[in-house]
Structure 1
Amino acid sequence: MSDRVALGRVHAALVSLPGVRDAAVHVTRDASGGRRIVAHMVTHAPLAELRAALESRLPSHLVPARLHRVPHIPLLPDGSTDRQALTALTARTVPESATAGPEPGAAASESGTAAVEPVTAAPEPGAAAADPVIAIPESDAAASESGTAAVEPVTAGPEPGAAAPKSGAAAEDPVTAAPVPGTAAPMPGTAAPMPGTAVPPPPPETVPLTPQQHTLLLDALAHRGTGRHVEQLDWRWRGPLDTDRFTAAWQSVFDRETVLRAAFDWGSGPRLVLHEHAGVEVVRHPPGSVDFDRLRERDRLRGFDLRRPGLLRLNLVDEPHPAGGGPAGARVLLTFHHVMLDGWSVSVLLQEFYRAYLAGGRLPGGERRPDIRDYARWLARQDTAPARDFWSSAIPAATALVLPAVPGPDTGLRGTGRAEARLEAGPADRLRAWAASCAATEAGALQVAWALLLYRAAVTRDPALVGFGVTVPGRGIALDSVERLPGPLMNSLPMTVRVDPATAVPRLLAELCDRALDLASYEWVSLGQIHEWSGRRAQDSLAESLIVFENRRRRFDDLYSALAAQGVGVEPPRASGVHSLFPVSLFAHRDPDGGLALAAVHDRARLADDDATRLVGQCVRLLRELPRLKGGSATVADALATLADEPRIRMARAPAPAARDSPA
């Protein structure tokens, strides 16, 4: 097993421990030249307990010889660990064990091994006796006891031979002032580097955030540790699974796609920082070592450090061999952050991954263009005046009904819930036929049902405006090959429509379709911009719920066939749904059997689990009944009458807004 794989496994074990927020793992050499693993962790948990937990999860040769508690893991501009700053932090802490630190002048690690951290602080007087030195084996003899390597990559550091810049160093280009040949020009007031000194790498390129990213970033920072805006896909992999090939294929995708090497810097902007290198994180778990559902929830709540590139990671969970024989399998969990990627993007990335895997782990070709830089430039060129005029008139002055429930008591709950329901294939086919007869789609029919639920929650018989959010792909713009561009292009826009009990249901459907067509010209505008242009107060929400109709990209049948020829079978991925800005998001997609699957992802502090289940159930009931109504003469009142025996949904009021974290 390579050092990269071994350290990745240690890092994966560390960050999976309860109470560990972040970690860095590296190799040092002692005075005798022996190698040992040292770990730094951001945690308040007792280090002795963490060591005991590691000893139960890792082979003995991978348990770190020394654990250090630090307040944070300092980073360089390229997203790698700032080793000099980490050494300074370590010098101010008391290590958990007292293994001898590397002596000054200890040899650096050999070429090709994991990077060596600077010398760590010597133990405090009176520290406990030293633990035995733990070396990383040089060969594959260090493979995991399960026979599979739990892989987690190490984020790429500076270019080979580059000196690590000091923490907080300015990112500006050096001033050209008679540099020594072959070295970087000195900054004003500093001595010129001596001949032969390594030249620091140039600062990474930056681009401005999109308005939508800015909104999501602020909200994500205000809800750290909640899994907000973190999305997950999972699917089954049957047949042989080569961990190294799997990891190499994903690394090849990372090397191609700029967005996977991007991170955020909010020190002066904020800005999107495009790094030259980023390592993919892949962790493999032996059969029976973890519960998949618990792993999924833990990985969602772990979230991401938005300052680091690579806001996508994977877990592989091996399944036991089938009792009746047949190929072994694994479940794949892919976790990503919506501030950088949308579902459409991940579908593109998956296609690239399969091509790379089939090619032995390498994706041919260089960086993709256009990429997120080109999209940022396209946005910067847009004249927002027409969009401002449209949205200023498209949002009515009257306040819309935006809650799908009547006011209710506090739920006493917290976290994110998920309630599911399904419209069977037969009724789903009838719904599609009815919508088609009205020159619409099942997505439009779903919007009708949701508008009726919003109106019903208001307990009124008078005409009223209702408002909810809808997602748009954001790719109907004049940018070449935008349909293949991974990035945060998918957008949420407000939909407002007047619901009158006397209006024919097909007429309401037609109005919603017309509004959807109008929105298509401005699907690149953020919800925050629209709110500002509408003249509403900050506390006046345009939508409190969101409809996400997932138009799945086509199956990669050619790739599935090629994988099958190598004995590998994969399923289409299943999305878990993401907790977004909205307290309720309704996700819908057509399942493989032709049914319509619905899932309400909700804030449990606002909507209790039972009420969420009733809400999605009532939506399915409306979708089943709409095609049965009396032709084109059926009214909104007729449709609502089908729910007469259904209880009202209750929803707690929103808590008072807390002070939002500033990105600092």
Structure 2
Amino acid sequence: MNKKLVESMYMLSPAQQGMFYETAQNAGSGLHIEQFVCTLEGDLKPELFVQAWQLVTRHYAILRTAFVWGSQNEPVQVVMRQVEVPLQYEDWRASSPEEQASKLETFLQQDRANGFKLARPPLMRLALFQTGPSTHEFVWTHHHILMDGWCCSLVQKDFLLCYEALSTGQSYQPVAHRPYRDYITWLKQQDESKAEQFWRKSLQGIHQPTPLGTVAQDHSAEVAIEGFGTTATMLSAEVSEHLQNLVRQQRLTLNTLFQGVWALVLSRYSQQSDVLFGITVSGRPPELIGIEQMVGLCINTLPVRVALEAEQPLWSWLQQLQAYNLELRQFEYISGGKVHQWSEIQGGMPLYESLLVVENYPVDNSILQKDEQLLAVNNIRSIGAQTRFPLTLLVIPGKEVELRCVFEKQRLDELTVRTIQSHFAQILNAIAQDSQRSITALQQRIPVQEIPQIRPALAQQQQREAEVLATEERAPLEARLLAIWQEVLGKKRPEHPGQFLQAGGTLTAGNAGRGPYSPGCPDRGATACPV
């Protein structure tokens, strides 16, 4: 690598490590690809649009970062001094609104499949589609390895202010922020031994992941569908407000409430009184001054264990859960792969089958509320949260709480997922109607006959993917991953690609010095980062 092009190099965070390995193994799957989509109204000047994004990219080092194998066989992130932000522009004004909508959805699907080459920054790209005289559809696509949802509004705000300044002939200097490398330095200073004690104690006695329902019969390859699906529903404004008032009165957080409700649902589905599922934590240590304005991936995904006693009052139980969460937060810096090592669940099995994400990070919309705006931003939506788990449940607080499920189509069908979503909402509605219900009373709102069935992974799909791993021409990164598998586990190939992360990714951390897994386009002018 040409050192003149490099600004700095440092290790990856636990979550970045997981995404790095998964991306290498699941090219074209759309995994960890985040898309921000909106309608821009106003006199948009494409050349200034790109220039503003270029200046924002210059300000934030993480937007100029590549991810490559280092000299010690460990992935490192490399900040380039300069990159070129790619923009795709198309004029769709001759198409009808229906055709425009169809074109946009087709583009979004292909854009996800294109993915990114992690060694070729920037790991983001822009697309503008003009749909009217002063209307454009805008798509900002980036790899999740760069940043979490906390950061997106910070970057978007700086872009809009920068574009406004350029459009009026002024200069704009973004507010100084703490660099992401300071967070990486902080991670290296943490005490792993204390974290190990906590996680071993927390997971003691659990030998298998909590099932998401009963096991369905093997389905044939003819009916198998690849990819991910998404469903969404909303709680009413009245119920949403009442739940917020209830948790405030009990001195709890909405996050605790949603965790408790998901534990109730999982307990009913699995017929177990001790359940385990994944949660996403912010990972932003309050002692690191300026962490709120830092742009980079700080989140982490870790297991939470919840025990249920049938007749225990709801609120005292949730108080215990919140206390456990506070203790967990002291050790949220550790990688999920090491937590897996310290558990009693075998490396070939995942720690959990479902992931709960409560999107309660701050969003600064002040720039969108100005009386005079050069660009009005409307119809905002985000597409992402595609993980390696069969089900990811996103809860988005607001005037009306949104419940969104992202699911793996090979394991779950849409009707089943909508039923799961309905059960989650039913219990929340029941709490709003009568907050003194017991745990048992709430669980009984889910009929036994409605417990979902989850399909096992396809055996034929596993074999086909393993054969691809063994025969296809590989990039140097992919070849290195397979070499690690062979060196550490003594196997020619994984029986199933997911086993690299579930077993090999963990073992390489212990035996080869590599950080373990953390439960995580066509080249258009991007500056290449030679490896």
Structure 2, unaligned stretches of length 5 or more? 470-477, 482-531
Query: Structure 2 CA distance, aligned partners of 1:650 and 1:514?
Result: 33
Give the aligned partner of residue 76 of structure 2. Answer: 271
Cα distance in structure 1, aligned partners of 2:322 and 2:174? 41
Q: CA deviation at 1:203?
A: 5.1
Cα offset, 1:389, TM superposition:
1.7
1:212–1:528 CA contact under 8 A, matched in 2: no
CA distance change for structure 1 residues 435 and 209 in 2, over 3 Å: closer, same or farther?
Answer: same
Q: 2:258 corresponds to which residue? A: 446
Q: SS where residue 417 of structure 2 aligns?
A: helix
Give yes or no for the alignment of 1:588 onto 2:388.
no
Does 1:568 pair with 2:380? no
Pair 646,284 (structure 1): closer, same or farther in 2 beyond 3 Å: farther
- Corresponding position of 2:496: none
> Structure 2 matches for 1:354-503, cutoff 5 A?
354-360=160-166, 364-365=172-173, 370-399=178-207, 402-409=210-217, 410=219, 412-459=224-271, 464-503=273-312
> Where in structure 1 are there 5+ consecutive unaligned residues?
1-76, 79-170, 172-200, 322-327
Structure 2 distance, partners of 1:600, 1:363, is: 42
Equivalent of 1:315, from 117, 127, 130?
A: 127
Tell me the CA shift for residue 590 of structure 1. 2.8
Change (3 A) 1:628 1:284: same
Deviation (angstroms), 1:256: 0.9
Matched, 1:607 2:412: yes
Shift of 1:566: 4.0
Structure 1 contact 211–529 (Cα < 8 Å) conserved: no
Aligned residues between the structures? 452
User: What's the CA shift string for 1:439-471, capped at 9, x where partnerless?
Assistant: 2233222212211111111236xxx21011111
- Tell me how far apart the structure 2 counterparts of residues 646 and 213 of structure 1 sit (CA, whole Å): 40
Kindly indicate whether the alpha-carbon contact (under 8 Å) linking 2:277 and 2:354 is maintained by their aligned counterparts in 1. yes
User: 2:492 is matched with which residue?
Assistant: none
- Measured at CA, do residues 380 and 567 of structure 1 come closer, stay the same or move farther in structure 2, by a change above 3 Å? closer
Candidates 265, 269, 281, aligned match of 2:86: 281
Whether the aligned pair in 2 keeps the contact of 1:471 and 1:549 (CA below 8 Å) is: yes
Deviations 1:146-174 (A, max 9, x none): xxxxxxxxxxxxxxxxxxxxxxxxx6xxx
Q: Which amino acid in the other structure matches residue 628 of structure 1?
A: Q
- Give 1:516 deviation, angstroms: 1.6
Q: Tell me if 1:221 matches 2:24.
A: yes
Alignment of 1:91-130 (within 5 A): none
SS in 2 for 1:331: strand
Q: Which of 347, 351, 356 is the equivalent residue of 2:153?
A: 347
Secondary structure of the corresponding residue to residue 356 of structure 1: helix
- Which of structures 1 and 2 has the larger relative contact order (alpha carbons within 8 angstroms, sep 6+)? 2
> What do residues 474-506 of structure 1 show as CA deviations (whole Å, max 9, x unaligned)?
112422211111111111121101122222222
TM value normalised by structure 1: 0.64
Q: How does 1:152-167 map to 2 (within 5 A)?
A: none
Q: Secondary structure at the match of 1:271?
A: strand
Distance 1:567 1:605, change over 3 A: same
**Contact map agreement 2:42 2:135 (CA 8 A) in 1:** yes
CA distance in 2, matches of 1:607, 1:640: 22
In 2, Cα distance between equivalents of 1:597 and 1:213: 27
Which residue of the partner structure matches residue 333 of structure 1?
139
Q: What is the one-letter code of the residue matched to 1:245?
A: L
Task: Determine if contact 2:5/2:82 at 8 Å carries over to the other structure.
Answer: no
Work out the CA distance in 1 between the residues paired with 2:379 and 2:186. 33
**1:194-209 matches, cutoff 5 A:** 201=4, 205-209=8-12
Contact 2:206/2:345 (8 A) holds in 1: no
- Report the 3-state secondary structure (helix = DSSP H, G, I; strand = E; otherwise coil) of the residue aligned with 1:599: strand
1:598 maps to amino acid: L
Asked if the contact 2:30–2:113 (Cα under 8 Å) also holds between the matched residues in 1, the reply is yes
Kindly state the Cα deviation for residue 330 of structure 1 after the two structures are TM-superposed: 2.0
Q: Is 1:619 the counterpart of 2:444 in the alignment?
A: no
Q: Aligned partner of 1:404: which letter?
A: L
Structure-1 residue corresponding to 2:503: none
Letter in 2 for 1:649: P
Match of 2:114 in 1: 302
Give the Å deviation of 1:247.
Answer: 0.8
Distance (Å, rounded) in 2 between the aligned partners of 1:202 and 1:353: 24
Secondary structure in 1 matching 2:230: strand
Query: Offset of 1:298 from its aligned partner?
Result: 1.3
The equivalent position to 1:651 in structure 2, one of 424, 448, 454, is 454
Whether 1:554 aligns to 2:357 is no
CA offset at residue 645 of structure 1? 7.3
**CA–CA separation in structure 2 for the residues paired with 1:543 and 1:480:** 34
Cα distance per residue 1:521-545 (max 9 Å; x no partner): 1222221121123354212432211
**What is the CA distance between 1:555 and its match in structure 2?**
3.4
Letter in 2 for 1:596: V
Q: Distance in 1 between matches of 2:406 and 2:7?
A: 37
Q: Judge conservation of contact 2:164–2:374 (CA < 8 Å) in 1.
A: no
Q: Does 1:511 align with 2:320?
A: yes
Q: Distance in 1 between matches of 2:450 and 2:343?
A: 35
The separation in 1 between residues aligned to 2:361 and 2:292, in whole angstroms, is 13
Select between 388-397 and 645-654 the one with higher mean Cα deviation: 645-654
What's the CA shift for 1:420? Answer: 1.1
Pick closer, same or farther for the CA change 1:645–1:397 going to 2, 3 Å: closer
Residue 539 in structure 1 maps to residue 342 in structure 2: no
CA distance in 2, matches of 1:612, 1:440: 28
Q: 448-457 vs 547-556, which deviates more? A: 547-556
Question: Helix, strand or coil for the counterpart of 2:279?
Answer: strand
The answer to whether the Cα contact below 8 Å between 1:315 and 1:333 also exists between their aligned partners in 2 is yes
Report if aligned partners of 2:14, 2:335 keep a CA contact under 8 Å in 1: yes
User: Taking structure 2 as the reference length, what is the TM-score of the superposition?
Assistant: 0.79
Answering whether residue 372 of structure 2 is matched by residue 524 of structure 1, we say no
Change (3 A) 1:438 1:540: farther
Amino acid at match of 2:139: L
- Residue identity matched to 1:302: N
CA RMSD of superposed structures (Å): 2.4
Structure with the higher fraction of residues in helix conformation: 2
Q: Give the drift of 1:567.
A: 4.3
Letter in 1 for 2:144: H
Summarize the Cα distance change of 1:500–1:655 in structure 2 as closer, same or farther, 3 Å threshold: farther
Q: Single out whichever of 519-528 and 397-406 deviates more from structure 2.
A: 397-406
Give me the whole-angstrom Cα distance separating, in 2, the residues matched to 1:418 and 1:375: 33
Question: Which residue of structure 2 aligns with residue 211 of structure 1?
Answer: 14
Q: Is the 8 A contact 2:150 2:363 kept in 1?
A: no
What percent identity do the matched residue pairs reach? 25
2:412 corresponds to which letter in structure 1? L
> How big is the shift at 1:552?
4.4
CA contact (8 A) 2:14 2:300 kept: no
Deviations 1:52-92 (A, max 9, x none): xxxxxxxxxxxxxxxxxxxxxxxxx36xxxxxxxxxxxxxx
**TM-superposed deviation, 1:624:** 0.8
The 5 Å alignment of 1:136-151 reads none
- Counterpart selection for 2:33 from 199, 219, 230: 230
CA shift at 1:663, angstroms? Answer: 4.5
Q: In 2, distance between residues paired with 1:388 and 1:363?
A: 50
